Amino acid sequence: MLFYRAFVFLLLSLVGVAAVAAVRAESSSHTINVAESQIKVHFVDRFTPIEQNKILYWLQQHAEAVATLYGEFPIPNARVRVEKAASAGQPVPWGQVIRGREEGVLLQVNPEFSQAEFVSDWTAAHEFSHLFIPFPGNQDSWFSEGLATYLQNTLRVRAGMLTEQQGWQKLYEGLRRAWARLRGLPDPGYVDVAKLLPIAYVMGLAMLLMGVVLIIGDIVVPLHLTS
Q: Which residues contribute to the site for Zn ion (CB under 5 A)?
A: 145, 148
Q: Which residue is nearest to Zn ion (CB)?
A: 148
- Give the CA dihedral 153, 158, 159, 165, nearest 10 degrees: 60
C-alpha–C-alpha distance, residues 130 and 177, integer Å: 20
CB nearer Zn ion, residue 30 or residue 130: 130
Distance of closest approach, residue 145 Cβ to Zn ion, in angstroms: 5
- Nearest residue (CB) to Zn ion, 30 versus 148: 148
- E strand or H helix at 184, and its extent? none
The two counts, helices (H) then strands (E), for the chain are: 7, 5
Which one, 31 or 138, has the nearer CB to Zn ion?
138
- Detail the DSSP E strand segments found in 35-130: 37-43, 77-84, 94-98, 104-109
What's the residue count for the chain?
227
Least spacing, CB of residue 95 vs Zn ion, in Å: 8
Cα angle value 11/14/18 (rounded, 5°):
140
Work out how close the CB of 131 gets to Zn ion at its nearest, in angstroms, rounded to a whole number.
11
The whole-angstrom distance between residue 193's C-alpha and the CA centroid of its chain comes to 23
Nearer to Zn ion, 138 or 227 (CB): 138
Minimum distance from CB of 126 to Zn ion (Å)?
A: 6
Residue closest to 125 by CA, chosen among 76, 161, 87, 82: 161
State the minimum distance, in angstroms, from the CB of residue 100 to Zn ion: 17
Is the CB of 30 or the CB of 81 nearer to Zn ion?
Answer: 81
Residue closer to Zn ion, measured from CB, 146 or 204: 146
Nearest 5°: the CA angle 147, 127, 68 is: 70
Smallest distance, Zn ion to C-beta of residue 89, A: 20
